[in-house]
Every structure is written in C-alpha cells, then in structure tokens.
A = this chain, B = another copy of it.
C-alpha cells in the first residue's frame, strides 16, 4: 500500500454546479469548501470562515458529483480485446476462463485494476463496485489510484484462480477479509458469480456471511436466456425465484444485469427492495439481451449503471454508458421518452449510490457527504453551444471531457492527468504482462 497523500482544504470557485442530478438543475456556482474528506459548504457566495485552501478555478466548467460505476471486473483490462464478436458462452468458456486460469494471480489483479482505475478516474468515475478474484490486490490498486471502491471477492463452485478446489471459497474469503486494506476508501463485499455457478448452499452461506459482516452481496442474475433455462431446469425455478426461495433477496443484495425477468420476478425485486445494476453495453456486445431498465425504474427499483468488465464492453466510460442505456431503452421500448437524460444521470450518481447502500455518503453534493466531485470542461466544439447541460452530459459528452476529479477530498485527476500514481510505469508493466498472455493465444501485445 502506498502512502496516502495528506488531505487538505480545497475551495472550488466559479462555473456551474449540478448538486443532485434529476432533482436540482444546473445553477451558477459561487464557492464550495472541501475540508479533509468532506464537503463543508456547497455553492455559497461567502465562506463562513477564512480558510487556508487550495483554490480550484472552475470558471466556465460544470461541477457535479463523481460518477458511480455499479459493476466492473476491473482487472480484466489485461484481457480487453483478446476475444470479441463471439457468443457469450464461447467467449466465457473458450477464451476468458482459460486465460484466467493460466494468468490470474495477485500481480495480474493489481496491475489490471491499476489500468482500469486510471481509466475510470480519467473518465470521472469516483466510486466503482468491483467483483473478481484475489480482491485484496484490487483494493490496493483502488487505494493507490485514490478511488472509492466496493471490493467484492468472487465466489464460485468451480475452480477459481484463487480457490483451486470447488467449495474452498470460505478459506479464500477469510484470507481476503484478513488482508484487504483497511482504508476509508474501501468497502469489502461478496460476489457470488451466478445461480448457475454457485450451489444453493454456497448462495445461502454467502448471504449469511454478508449479513453477519453487514456487507453487500453481488450476483450476476439472469444475464442470458440459456442461464435462465439452465437454472429453471436444475431447480425448477427461474433465477430470481430461486434466490427468493433461498431467502437471499433483500437489503444488501445487488442483482447485476437482470435482463431476462418474468413479471413475477420483477415484482419480487420490488418487494424485496433489491437494487439492480444495468450494464447496457456489455449486454449488447455479448448479445445477452436487453434489461427492461425503464420498466424496472418506473416500478421503483433502485437502478444503478455499470460498465461490466473491460473485456466485454470494452471501455469504462460512464458518460457513454449513460448514453447507451438511454438509446437502448428508446430502441427496445420504441419510446423516445424512455430513460431520459435526468433519469440516467441519477442512475450514474445518487441512484447508483442507493444500490450500494451509500446514498447517505456519496452520489450528490451536500455538506457532510464525502467530497467526491468532478469538474467537466464544456469548452469544446462538441459541447458548444449548450442549452441544457444535463442533455449534453448524457447525449454528447465523454469521459475525456472531465478535467478534474476529487475523491475523498483528494485531487486524483488534475487537468486531465492522474496525480496519484505514475501512469507510464503501470502501462509499461501491463504491456509486459500482456505480452505473455498474448503469446498463449497467438497474439502479440502491440501497444509498445
């Protein structure tokens, strides 16, 4: 774990501010005071006291809450582009699982998560919910880059890169919980891969452990149609019904994907207060299907938005993901009003925070909340002129429009540059590891 930079006071001055997308509009911004890790005063004309602070000039810029990536397998940046344009189960079983079983270890997870964390930071993502293996090393990377992260250790009943014998996940989980860095940025959690790769006993035990530890439990739920058929065949119930019968649905459970749901299953999610993370680009790319995101949202399900891993997306740009969520919803519902700009902005901020049980701490800019703030520079041809900032954020902007990123009061990106780690060093190390991974499948790493 690298040394943490000391927090300091920061005052943002000028520009425009969007304190809570979808509830407040964009207004003229005067001054916002950040002390240590917290927002102290938001958009006031005069600070209540004199402070010794770094001044960040936000003139002509747009200040908003940092984006929340509700689902990612960050380390998979090292497998990005290794296999595309393939059916889901071939992609997973013939390419991803074999590459993972050969290469995924602590160094892979640390390096891959470093690359993704740098990408996410540059794109204005201040919190991500990660699920993979050797997760204490993912946590190290998030801490080093300076991002807030929910770090969920993967659980499978087939051999995993960090738990060779099926059923050995409990030992691995113990090890993870022992060695995961204790850092204010990190919330440990559990991630059961799915109802088809985790047995009913494993799901029940994992849920009991999550309750005991008061952590989140993530699970891929009904991502593909074959998965639903498989689970229905084995257990006589569709995945959400199966989870309900196991008494797992409820607060703290997060359903990822939720593409193929019956009406009854949708109601079960509503009744149990289960949050859903929608991953539109991954679902499209793998031809998994289309989550009824606008329908679930209308029923009152807390909906976040996720990129999924960089091997099935293949980028971690949540501005683009908001746009894709909205465009996909309009396409499949044939309703151009579906998932409008304000709704998807909420999914990527305050509603995403709600799914992670963190809406009292992040997701909007309010005094007392953590200072997770991004500054967007709209002085570019593709954002000029600007009538409705929320429209531009969803329908025209991209991660590269983010100028500054503050997480927990710390400046992680300053004028488009990562300040916390040496980007060049980690890209070089990632390329070296990728050369070896590529060799295994007859490909060359060619970014050098």
Residue A32 CB within 8 A of the other chain: no
**A387–B446 touching, CB < 8 Å:** yes
**A396–B314 touching, CB < 8 Å:** yes
Across the interface, which residues of B come within 8 angstroms of A123, CB to CB? 382
Interface size class for chain A? 35 or more
**A81–B388 touching, CB < 8 Å:** yes
**B314–A389 touching, CB < 8 Å:** no
Interface with B: A34-42, A183-191, A278-286, which one? Answer: A278-286
Residue A277 CB within 8 A of the other chain: no
Q: Which of B85, B284, B379, B446 contacts A337 (CB 8 A)?
A: B85
Asked, given contacts A330-B287, A446-B16, A447-B379, whether A430 binds B384 with beta carbons under 8 Å apart, the answer is yes
Residue A55 CB within 8 A of the other chain: no
**A85–B446 touching, CB < 8 Å:** no
Asked, given contacts A285-B395, A330-B287, whether A86 binds B336 with beta carbons under 8 Å apart, the answer is yes
Complex Cα gap A81–B383 (Å)? 9
Q: Which of B122, B283, B434, B446 contacts A381 (CB 8 A)?
A: B122
A435 to chain B, nearest CB (A): 8
Across the interface, which residues of B come within 8 angstroms of A166, CB to CB? none
1/0 contact string of A64-87 vs chain B (CB within 8 Å): 000000000000011011101111
A383 to chain B, nearest CB (A): 7
1/0 contact string of A332-376 vs chain B (CB within 8 Å): 111111101100000000000000000000000000000000000
Complex Cα gap A11–B395 (Å)? 38
Across the interface, which residues of B come within 8 angstroms of A384, CB to CB? 77, 115, 427, 430-431, 447
1/0 contact string of A119-154 vs chain B (CB within 8 Å): 100110000000000000000000000000000000
Contacting residues of chain A (297-346) with chain B, CB-CB under 8 angstroms: 310, 313-317, 320, 324, 326-328, 330-338, 340-341
**A285–B446 touching, CB < 8 Å:** no
Residue A211 CB within 8 A of the other chain: no
Across the interface, which residues of B come within 8 angstroms of A78, CB to CB? 385
| A446: nearest chain-B partner, CB-CB | B386
Interface with B: A200-208, A228-236, A262-270, A437-445, which one? Answer: A437-445
Asked, given contacts A391-B84, A396-B315, whether A385 binds B431 with beta carbons under 8 Å apart, the answer is yes
Leading 9 A-B pairs by shortest Cβ distance = A385-B434, A284-B327, A386-B447, A81-B391, A400-B400, A314-B395, A287-B336, A85-B340, A119-B381
* 8 A–B contacts from the bound complex (CB under 8 Å): A60-B447, A289-B334, A317-B382, A317-B398, A331-B331, A384-B447, A386-B446, A400-B400
Interface residues of A (CB under 8 A from B): 16, 26, 60, 77-78, 80-82, 84-88, 91, 115-116, 118-119, 122-123, 281, 283-287, 289-290, 310, 313-317, 320, 324, 326-328, 330-338, 340-341, 378-389, 391-392, 395-396, 398-400, 423, 427, 430-431, 433-434, 438, 443-448
